[in-house]
Structure formats: structure tokens, C-alpha cells
A and B are shown apart, each in its own frame.
Chain A
Amino acid sequence: MSFVGGGARLTRARWTLYLTVGVIGLAVILLLAPLVGPGAHGRGVALMSPRAVWGDGIDATIFWHVRLPRTLAAALVGAALAAAGCAFQAVLRNPLAEPFTLGVSSGASLAAVIAIRLGVASVAGTAGVGAAAVIGAIAAVALVWQLGRVGSTLPPATLVLAGVTVSMFCGAAALVVQATADFAEMSRMLRWMMGGLEWTQLTTVARALPPLVLGAAVLVWLGRDLNALAAGPEAAASVGVAVGRTQTLAFAAASLLVGTSIAIAGPIGFVGLIVPHALRATVGPDHRVLLPMSLLGGAALVVGCDTIARVLGQLPVGVVTALAGGPFFLVLLVRGKRTSALWRSE
């Protein structure tokens, strides 16, 4: 089975057009999202007046201290998860690869839960738990890679099996750790594992920015290499790609993105799967445009889903990404099957 879709070759004009549309679209969403909130008595939708933002009333406080940090965090998390999913799919040549199916999210969650249990949160705060999540993400990727490898190749089936196995093991181990925790720790763990952006502050966003920018920059830089890897490691090496270095860099950067995003918002599913697939069918498979567009598209999706989550009454954003993303992906799949534009069996 291979993935088909896409369109004409990537020219400078097309690259500029896509990126311009993407940047403008995301900018509009970022400007509007913090103005949107639940209506009076939690019913309906209320749009905050832009003038109120610059005043010194309660609206300004909500905008600057609650909604803006949350929106920015949502954007960073979405961008990171989508770009990481795109990179995992490219390196592993596997349409099912994404942080969840590879066990990365579970690895990060287990490490974070252990960190909370060991009292890291009280010593080093949320930053300590976040660092543990990053380490957990990288460890899970390394483990899945080792388990899934057959010789020098990474067959899709064994890789996904290894990912699911690691994911289930980490999930079970996290439950065991939780069972040994006291009430305060357990509530912190539960809040963290449910995923959400409710308590995000601007300092969290600022702290997460450097690793996210670094991870994203590495992946965008590798765009041409990831294209060549679409034909497999040997074909990529024969045109000049340093395959081992590219795979290691891409895995490390993607794990850094996933770990950091999990540190901000806990595990959020579906984004790493649906955004690259939807965009590949729209802008084509060339990673020099697909990766930056995944950053923008992922950011827009999670900001949109988080806004819906806020309006619907403080749902965890992961619930909305799954509820909105699932049907959206199915529509793509069914449309793609009809027009043979998404999947192709061989």
C-alpha cells in the first residue's frame, strides 16, 4: 500500500503561495481565537471586543493572562506534533507513523508520571516534569527503533507492532506508578495525563519555545533528505544522502518536539497523523513545503480545537482533536478512496 495524492512539482511560486496562505490563515486564527469564549452562563459563544483587550477590565485580564498563553501554547503544541508526525512518516516510510502509534507519547507520559512520583515537580516544578517527558519520548523512540528493526531496515508492520507494544507497556507501567502515588500526586498525574492547556502561562510558552524552534528548524532543514528517503535508505544513499545521520537527526528532532509538546499539554492524539496526511493530499509530498505547512496546519488545528474545547466548557483539547480529527480523516479517506487520491493498493 502506498500513499498517493498531491499535485504538480514544487516551484518557488507554489512554495510562496502555500506558505503565504498558511501564514495568513494561522495569523487570522491566532488573532481571533483568544477573543472567542463561552457566552453568559456558559451557554453559546461570546466574542470579546478587541477594544476591551486594551482596557483594564476583567476582559483584558482574561485575554492576556488566560486565553493568549493558552492559544500560543496550543499553536506550539499543534505545530510540534504535526511536524513530528510528518517527519516520522517520512523517515519510516509509514503512513501510520505518528507519536501515538510509535509509543512516543506513552513513553513521555510514563517518564512524566515517574518524575511526579519521585517528587521532581516539587523540586524542579513543571519544567522538571517537562524535561522528564522529553527524555521519555527520546527513550521510547530509541526502544521502538531497536525493537522494530530487522537488520538495517524498518519494516512498517514490525515497527507499528513495536510501537503499540511499547505504548501498551508504558501505559500499564504508568498505571502501576499511579497506584503507588498519594492523593496529591495522583491528581497531578491525572491532570497531566488527560492533556490540556488550562493552566498554561506565558513563562511555559517562553520556556518551550527554544527546543521547539530547534526541532522544527532541524526538520525543515532536512526536507530534501526526507524526500530522497521516500524511496528507501539504499536509494537515498545512492543519490548522496547520509542516511544514518539523517534518520538520527530527524528522530531526535521529532522526539524533542513531541517531548516538549507533551511537557506543555500532556498527550494529545491525532494531530501528528491527520495534519501531514491532509496536507500531503493538498500541497503534495515534497517535504520542503510539507514540513513548514505541517507546522502551520498543526498550529491552526490545535488552536481551533482548543477554542472549541473552551467554548464547550473546559474539555481537554485532546478530546476535541480526536472527536474532530477522526471524522475529518475519515472524510478524507472515503473521498480519497473514491477518487483514488489518498490510498492506492498494489
Chain B
Amino acid sequence: MLALADVTFGYDARAVVRGVSLTVARGELVALVGPNGAGKTTVARLAAGLVPPRTGTARIDGRDPATTARREVAQRLAYLPQRYELAFPFTALEVVMMGRYARQRGPGLDSAADEAAARAALARCDVAALAERRFDALSGGERRRVVLAQALCQGAEAIILDEPTAALDPAHAIAVAQALADERARGAAVLIVTHDLDLAARYADRIVAMADGAVVADAAPATVLADARVQAAFGVTLHVGALPGGERFVVAR
């Protein structure tokens, strides 16, 4: 569903992403991890077709995003950026309804179906009560969940989320991870950029670890987290344990 093949990207002479290949199939949840500045966000933007690679190819459902209408891309792919700031005072519900753009035509108002989809997405992210509140008056964690609701409301077959659980309390981080697992269960391809290694270990089918613009490991969570190159990239020793129920957790030392 999502595919990057030998992709490079950089700003001026500086290479930020070097020879990255990455695939996310339908019904798969992949976590992209790595230390700060490893190039994760750039890879997410490349995979979302928001920036064109210098070399290599990016494909979304087999299509080149550079030559596909943005509306068509958005019908297949939802992207949650790391930062989301509004210039004007829209409410949470209005922000979520912007996610319906790709399924609407012309300059008209939103339909009852659009509103129902938006309210359902708000409820899934536990922010239904904030629907009529102004987005920029919400806390950081509440805003994050509203924007996640926008991504879910898009009804796409692939979702890329850049740090979806940043600024969330543990209960809401787990709820968001569960919502993403539900998306995977309905057949969506999910790619998350995260620093939350516990979440990656518990929910991801695969972890792709990056360092210095390149992929250093791409395998099952337990394998990647035990990989010496990954631990060297993070500059810590990672200890992976399991709760009695089998859920993995990670401690960094």
C-alpha cells in the first residue's frame, strides 16, 4: 500500500534521507523509530507524497503521488503531521470535518453524513465533548486527539501519523494505539513515527529503525529492539520484557 524504494532526500547539499526503502502492506502497522534528527519525519512526508524524493520512488497504492491529484491521494491516505496549528478560530468539529474534503465536491456546505462521520471520529478519539470548542483553546493533548480524529474521519486505506501519542497521557496514548490497531484490523496500512518504544513494541507488526538518515533495522519488534546497531543508534541499552499477559514493554538504560 505504501512503498518507498531507495529514496534519498536532502536540503541543499545536506542529505537527510539516504537510500531508504520501506513498505507497509494493508492490514499492517509499522512503527518508524530512531533518535532525534534521524530523518523519520522526512521519511513520513516522503511516504505521504508531500515532498518528492531526489532519487528513488514513492508509491501510494501503486501510484506516484507526484503525478496523482492530491484529492485522489487523500482518498487513499491520511497524514497526521507532527505540528498542527490553525490560523483561524475553527471549532474541533470543523477541524475534523476538514478531513472530509477529499470526499466532497465544489463549494457547498457539509452534509449530514459528513457531520456524522466527523462526530463518530471525535467519539473514537474521546473528544466528542469538545466538538463545539475552539481548537486553539484546547490543550496540547486534546488538539492531538482532534487532529487524529480528522485523520480517521478521512476514511483512507492508509494512515501515516507523525508522533500520534506525543503530549498524550498514558490512558489516551493507549486508547489512540488501540484505535490504530482497530484501523489495521479493518485492513488499513498504518505507519507511525514514534519515540514511544513501548507502544511500538506492543502494537507494531514491524519496527523500522533509522539512524542518520538511513534504515538500520527492519524486522519484528523484538528483533529490532535487541539489535546492537539500533541500541548504538539510540545510545542506550534497551531491555525488552513481557507482562504476564504477553504484552511487551521496553526499558532504556
Q: Which residues of A contact B (CB under 8 A)?
A: 2-6, 8-12, 15, 89-90, 93-95, 220-224, 227-228, 230-232, 234-235, 237-243, 280, 284-286, 288, 344, 346
Contacts and interface: CB of A to CB of B under 8 A. Distances in A.
**Across chains A and B, which 10 residue pairs bring their CB atoms closest together, nearest first?**
A240-B74, A240-B102, A93-B87, A285-B88, A238-B79, A4-B89, A240-B71, A239-B101, A6-B89, A240-B101
Interface in B29-88: 45, 48, 50, 69-71, 73-75, 77-81, 84-88
Interface string B84-115: 11111111011101110110101111100000
Interface stretch (B131-139, B199-207, B233-241): B131-139
A346 B87 CA distance: 12
Given A230-B86, A231-B85, A239-B150, A286 B107 contact: no
A278 to B, nearest CB: 14
5 contacts: A8-B132, A220-B107, A235-B81, A238-B74, A241-B70
B58 to A, nearest CB: 14
Given A224-B101, A224-B104, A240-B73, A15 B109 contact: yes
Interface string B114-155: 000000000000000000101011000000000000100010
Nearest to A229: B87
Contacts of B102: 239-240
Given A237-B70, A243-B70, A231 B89 contact: no
A93 B71 CA distance: 22
B108 to A, nearest CB: 8
Nearest to A287: B88
A288 B85 CA distance: 20
A324 B85 CA distance: 33
A94 B87 contact: yes
Contact of B98 (A6, A227, A242): A227
Name, among A94, A284, A285, the residue most crowded by chain B CB atoms within 10 Å (CB to CB).
A285
Given A238-B74, A242-B71, A2 B81 contact: no
Contacts of A222: 107
A138 to B, nearest CB: 24
Contacts of B136: 2, 4, 344, 346
A235 B134 CA distance: 18
A90 B87 CA distance: 8
Nearest to A342: B89
B88 A12 contact: no
Contacts of A2: 85-89, 136
Interface residues on B, range: 35 or more
Contacts of A235: 81, 84
B59 to A, nearest CB: 17
Contacts of A6: 88-91, 134
Contacts of B86: 2, 230-231
A284 B109 CA distance: 14
Contacts of A15: 109
Contacts of B108: 288
Contact of A286 (B70, B74, B79, B90): B90
Contacts of A239: 74, 78, 98-99, 101-102, 150, 154
Nearest to A245: B70
A230 B74 contact: no
Contacts of B90: 6, 227, 230, 285-286
Contacts of A234: 45, 50, 81
B50 A237 contact: yes
Contact of B89 (A10, A220, A238, A285): A285
B231 to A, nearest CB: 33
B151 to A, nearest CB: 8
Nearest to B100: A239
Contacts of B70: 237, 240-243
A86 to B, nearest CB: 11
Nearest to B79: A238
A242 B69 contact: yes
A219 to B, nearest CB: 10
Contact of A9 (B77, B99, B132): B132
A10 B91 CA distance: 10
